[in-house]
Each structure stands twice: as structure tokens, then as C-alpha cells.
Amino acid sequence: MEKDIKILAIESSCDETAAAVVVNGRQVLSNIIASQIDIHKKFGGVVPEVASRKHIEAISAVVQEALDSAKLSLQDIDAVGVTYGPGLVGALLVGLQYAKGLAYAIDKPLIGVNHIEGHISANFIQYKELEPPFVCLVVSGGHTFIVYMKDYGDFEVMGETRDDAAGEAYDKVARAIGLGYPGGPKIDKLAKEGNDEAIKFPRANFHDDSSLDFSFSGVKSAVLNYLNNMKMKDEKINKADVAASFQKAVVDFLVDNAIKACKIKRVDKIAVAGGVASNSCLRNTLIKEGEKVGVKVLFPEPILCTDNAAMIGSAAYFELLKGRTASLDLNAIPNLKLGER
């Protein structure tokens, strides 16, 4: 039997300082997340400078806790995986420099991981038998992609947003109706009490039926205009109806393109990844539409959807199998593209 490979992984691309130990890319021994949400809430969004400082304060303790709860010491670790982009440069650098220091100290390989590839990999943890090829819908606060995953670490971007990411649109609409940050989960909850057909918010039209791209700034502006109009007319706003109608516009767009992508690639499974993958309406609608065309829909559990290091440990393992390790001069790349090495 081959030796198990234990990867210590670190994630600090945005407002979560996270560390995890993952065995053979699929088995999570520990998954520690220190969230800064309460700090950034006051500002209505992530403040990059504050995020970097908080990562510095948290990282040693978070890594130690990941090792402790895995009941391992640094000497037991076979490689160190770390997110090196995309993300906030100051935030990325904290995790990256820490990971380099550890890899150097234990004389083990360093593996640079693309944050988005990490989100996709969360599905390998959730579904132990899952193997490429499959289509993946990536929906996070900063990114929205439809990706065809041909093989481990081998991606084809089939569609992406031309403006706002899905999570970003949720957060902006939530702020406009006074729900606070992060808005996605709050809209998800409020929408359950609303009528999703109360207001017709338009979907972007690219005049090209074959495009799998998205655009969410139009629907966001339509919500803002609706709110302004109602205020000017002094009419009462039903926030639950706004949340439900906005959510329907976003989810229908995501689901339509995701199903189209499965048909194009003739695959029978679609994995969903990123913070918005926790959305209950997206989950229910995609499962329902998938059933109609024989496509199985996969979602990681919520703790693996949001930013975490276990997903980075999984992606790092498959990179290591391909021999893709990094040297100690690896730099943070804030706008790292999917599939770029």
C-alpha cells in the first residue's frame, strides 16, 4: 500500500484565516477557520488593510490548532499547500510567507494553489468517488464561472461573469435593502418569506444564445432603481418580495447556463462550488432542473463552500501528484486566472 500523503494547507486570500490537514486529497483531519466577518461588518465589506493585519495576528494560532486537532506535529507533514491567488494581495502574502517558512523549516515541498481551483476541489472531499470529467459552477463573492473540469488540474472556462460576481450582487442588494454584510445568507433567508414573482427584474441579454457568460450588474441596478422609485412614490417596500424576486433572477440565470454547459459537454454531473453554493434556492432549483435532464447535482456541505483550507489541501494534493510544486520565490498573484500556472 502506498504511503498516505498529509498536506498542511493554508488559506488567507480574503477575510478568513484558515488552516487544515488533508490526507490524500479527500480525507480532512482538521479544518480550522478564523473568520473576520464581525470586524468587517462595521464597514459593510472587507477592508483589505485590516484583513492583512488580522491574518498576521491569527495565522500562527490557526496553523497550530490545525496540527493539534489532527493530532500531528509539523514533522508528520509531507507537503505545505497555500493559496497564492486570486485574492487581496496583502492578505495572500501573509499565508504565503507563512507557508514558505514552514515548508523551508521542515524541508518539504511547497504547493501553490489557485483559490478557485480550491473551491472546485471541495467537491472531492465531499464526494469521495468523484472524478473528472464534470462541469462545475463556481459562485463566490468575487468570481462566477462555468468550468469544464477535464482532468485533475485541467480546466476549460466555458462562461464567466462580465461584471459583478453572483455573491457580490447578493451583497450589494442586501446592503441596499438594509440587511448588512455578508448579504447572501440574509437574502437567502428573507426570500423564503417573499413572492419570487412579485417583481420582474430583467436578465441581461447578450444577443448570443450560445454564450454561457453571466452579467449581474443589470439586475442589481434594476433592484436599486425599483427601491428608489418606490421611495419617491412613498410606497411601502416589501423587502421579502424584493429578495425573492432578485434571487429568482440570479438563480434562474445560473441554473440555465449550468444545464446548458452539461448538455454541450454531454456530462451527467455538475458540481457547485464557492460561498453562494450554500444558497438554498440555487440548490433546490439546480437539483430539480438537473433531474429533468438526467444530470446529478453535487454540492459540498456549507463549511466546505465558504473559504476554508481543506479545499486548498485537496487541490494541493492533485497538484503534487502531477509534480507541480513551487519554489520558495513563489509570489502572490492577486488576479491569478483559472488554469494559469
Write out the residues near ligand KG4 by the rule CB under 6 A.
14, 140-142, 167, 170-171, 182-185, 188, 274-276, 278-279, 306-307
Grid coordinates of 109 = 515541498
| Nearer to Zn ion (CB atom), residue 149 or residue 262 | 149
Residue 294 region, left (φ>0) first, then alpha (ψ -120 to 50), else beta?
A: left
306 binds, among ligand KG4, Zn ion, none (CB under 5 to 8 A by kind): ligand KG4
Nearest alpha carbon to residue 66 among 110, 13, 136, 11? 11
Q: Report the nearest approach of ligand KG4 to the CB of residue 188 (Å).
A: 4
Q: Report the nearest approach of ligand KG4 to the CB of residue 27 (Å).
A: 22
Q: Give helix 183-191 / helix 239-265 axis angle, nearest 10°.
A: 100
Q: Report the nearest approach of Zn ion to the CB of residue 238 (Å).
A: 32
Nearest alpha carbon to residue 20 among 9, 36, 12, 5? 9
Bridge partners, 161 (sequence order): 214
| Nearer to ligand KG4 (CB atom), residue 109 or residue 142 | 142
Cα–Cα distance for residue pair 297/318, rounded to 1 Å = 22
290 binds, among ligand KG4, Zn ion, none (CB under 5 to 8 A by kind): none
Cα–Cα distance for residue pair 299/34, rounded to 1 Å = 23
153 binds, among ligand KG4, Zn ion, none (CB under 5 to 8 A by kind): none
Q: Which residues of 95-111 are buried (b: 16+ CB within 10 A; e: fewer)?
A: bbbbbbebbeebebbbb
| Residues 248-307 contacting Zn ion, CB under 5 A | 307
Q: Report the nearest approach of ligand KG4 to the CB of residue 266 (Å).
A: 29
Q: Which ranges of 266-335 would DSSP assign to H, the alpha helix?
A: 280-292, 302-305, 310-321
**What is residue 150's DSSP assignment?**
E
Q: Report the nearest approach of ligand KG4 to the CB of residue 74 (Å).
A: 28
| Nearer to Zn ion (CB atom), residue 123 or residue 140 | 140
Grid coordinates of 23 = 490526507
Cα–Cα distance for residue pair 262/12, rounded to 1 Å = 32
* Residue positions forming the annotated binding site for Fe cation: 115, 119, 307
Which residue is it, cell 477592508? 47
Q: Would you give the binding string for Zn ion spanning residues 120-159, x where CB under 5 A is met?
A: --------------------x-------------------
| Nearer to ligand KG4 (CB atom), residue 27 or residue 35 | 35
* Residue positions forming the annotated binding site: 115, 119, 138-142, 171, 184, 188, 279, 307
Q: Report the nearest approach of ligand KG4 to the CB of residue 65 (Å).
A: 20
Cα–Cα distance for residue pair 122/217, rounded to 1 Å = 28
| Nearer to ligand KG4 (CB atom), residue 132 or residue 274 | 274
**Cα distances (Å, whole numbers) of residue 309 to 34, 92, 250, 287:** 11, 13, 28, 27
Nearest alpha carbon to residue 314 among 101, 84, 114, 100? 114
| Residues 300-319 contacting Zn ion, CB under 5 A | 307
The amino acid at residue 300 is P
* Residue positions forming the annotated binding site for substrate: 138-142, 171, 184, 188, 279
Number of H helices, E strands in the chain: 11, 10
Q: Report the nearest approach of ligand KG4 to the CB of residue 166 (Å).
A: 7
| Nearer to Zn ion (CB atom), residue 36 or residue 245 | 36
319 binds, among Zn ion, ligand KG4, none (CB under 5 to 8 A by kind): none
| Nearer to Zn ion (CB atom), residue 222 or residue 311 | 311
Q: Where on the chain is the footprint of Zn ion (CB under 5 A)?
A: 140, 307
